[in-house]
Amino acid sequence: MVVVKGDVNPTEAKDILNDWVTKGEQTNEEWNEQSQARIQRQLKKLGFVTREEYEQLEEGLNV
């Protein structure tokens, strides 16, 4: 371990770990957003409507 060898003090090690966790969370959020966008594009290509579009159509039929 780097801390045991003395290359990094415990405070620096904690900061590095916190940075890794933060970057991991950010990357995860980015991947989730990208995946969601990809799924929405594919559903649109397949002809599915969004909930908003469905509700607009439903309102138009109830008039």
The pLDDT tens digits of the residues spanning 1-53 come to: 555 566 888 899 899 999 999 999 999 999 999 999 999 999 999 999 999 99
Q: What is the pTM of this model?
A: 0.59
Is residue 22 within 8 Å of residue 14, measured between CB atoms?
no
Is residue 3 within 8 Å of residue 13, measured between CB atoms?
yes
**How far is the C-alpha of 60 from the C-alpha of 49, rounded, in Å?**
15
